[in-house]
């Protein structure tokens, strides 16, 4: 079994998936990872919509003009929704849930990619979030933060290596010694 550091090294965005459904015991583990995610003051200002309906996933894949179309080939899309009335740091809380979901995905032999929704436009009239809210019946006071597209990887990508580490981004005691 891989250590957490090894899982972090091996997690790469996966945008091409096998046409294979994800077993219910695996989706149950993914739900636990989301619901055990830490949040500021334990406010848990999030909801998660597990979408495995092919046509709905296809609609979600058109939520924005770039960076979402690959999702039409994913057997599962987890839509992460935040409630800004429950927390002023709902963005952080949703992001933490998203990455813990991605790491759990990696740990159980699946692949995923984050699709950014917050601050993205569907077209000149509509935000990507409002477009998704219509499709999924999400209440008006909530915002869609992101979607995590998940499935069995169609191909393995190389893990990160030590050669790619931006070691200069780690600072000791002060940003600069000058
Ligand atoms: C906040 C955030 C938003 C992202 N949005 C998208 C996206 O909309 N579409 C996409 O294909 N990938 C998206 N990604 C994936 C990044 O492109 C990817 O993580 C990055 O290029 C590093 O590659 P890796 O995930 O293989 O390490 C996003 C990642 C993060 C963390």
Inter-residue contact 105 to 123 (CB < 8 Å): no
Give 12 Cα–ligand 1 centroid separation in angstroms.
Answer: 9
pLDDT at residue 177 in the model = 85
Q: Which of 26, 44, 25 is nearest to 35 (CA)?
A: 44
pLDDT at residue 13 in the model = 98
The band of 73, judged by pLDDT with boundaries at 50, 70 and 90, is very high
pLDDT reading at 105 higher than 90: yes
Atom 15 in ligand 1: residue holding the nearest Cα: 114
CA dist 13 and 116 (Å) reads 13
Total domains present in the chain: 1
Q: Is residue 111 part of a domain?
A: yes
Q: Is residue 173 part of a domain?
A: no
**2-41 pLDDT, tens digit each:** 999 999 999 999 999 999 999 999 999 999 999 999 999 9
Token pair for residue 98? 């998203």
CA dist 132 and 59 (Å) reads 8
Q: Is residue 106 part of a domain?
A: yes
E-assigned strand segments in 57-169: 76-83, 111-116, 142-151
Q: Is residue 80 part of a domain?
A: yes
Q: What is the mean pLDDT of residues 140-162?
A: 98
pLDDT at residue 66 in the model = 98
Q: Is residue 94 part of a domain?
A: yes
pLDDT reading at 72 higher than 90: yes
The band of 130, judged by pLDDT with boundaries at 50, 70 and 90, is very high
CATH number of the domain enclosing 45: 3.40.109.10
Q: What is the mean pLDDT of residues 146-175?
A: 98
E-assigned strand segments in the chain: 46-51, 76-83, 111-116, 142-151
Q: Is the CB of 9 under 6 A from ligand 1?
A: no
pTM equals 0.98
Q: Is residue 119 part of a domain?
A: yes
Question: For the CA atoms of the chain, what is the radius of gyration?
Answer: 17
The band of 178, judged by pLDDT with boundaries at 50, 70 and 90, is confident
Q: Is residue 85 part of a domain?
A: yes
Give 115 Cα–ligand 1 centroid separation in angstroms.
Answer: 7
DSSP state letter for 39 = -
Q: Is the CB of 116 under 6 A from ligand 1?
A: yes
Q: Which of 84, 90, 104, 98 is nearest to 22 (CA)?
A: 104
Domain holding 127, by residue range, is 21-155
DSSP state letter for 14 = -
Q: Is residue 6 part of a domain?
A: no
pLDDT reading at 107 higher than 90: yes
Average pLDDT, rounded, for the chain: 98
Q: Which of 21, 89, 78 is nearest to 47 (CA)?
A: 78
Q: Is the CB of 115 under 6 A from ligand 1?
A: yes
Token pair for residue 56? 């709905």
Q: Is the CB of 113 under 6 A from ligand 1?
A: yes
Contacts of 6 (CB under 8 A, 6+ apart): none
């Amino acid at each position: 079994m891989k250590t957490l550091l090894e899982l972090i090294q091996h997690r790469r965005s996966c945008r091409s998936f096998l046409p294979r459904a994800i077993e219910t015991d695996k989706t149950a583990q993914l739900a636990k990872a989301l619901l055990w995610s830490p949040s500021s003051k334990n406010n848990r200002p999030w909801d998660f919509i597990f979408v495995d309906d092919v046509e709905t996933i296809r609609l979600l894949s058109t939520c924005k003009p770039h960076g979402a179309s690959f999702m039409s080939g994913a057997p599962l899309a987890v839509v992460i929704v935040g409630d800004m009335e429950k927390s002023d740091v709902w963005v952080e809380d949703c992001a933490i849930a998203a990455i813990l979901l991605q790491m759990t995905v990696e740990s159980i032999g699946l692949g995923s990619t984050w699709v950014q929704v917050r601050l993205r436009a569907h077209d000149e009239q509509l935000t990507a979030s409002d477009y998704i809210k219509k499709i999924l019946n999400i209440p008006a006071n909530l915002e869609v933060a992101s979607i995590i597209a998940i499935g069995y990887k169609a191909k393995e990508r190389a893990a990160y290596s030590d050669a790619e580490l931006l070691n200069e981004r780690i600072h000791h005691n002060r940003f600069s010694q000058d």
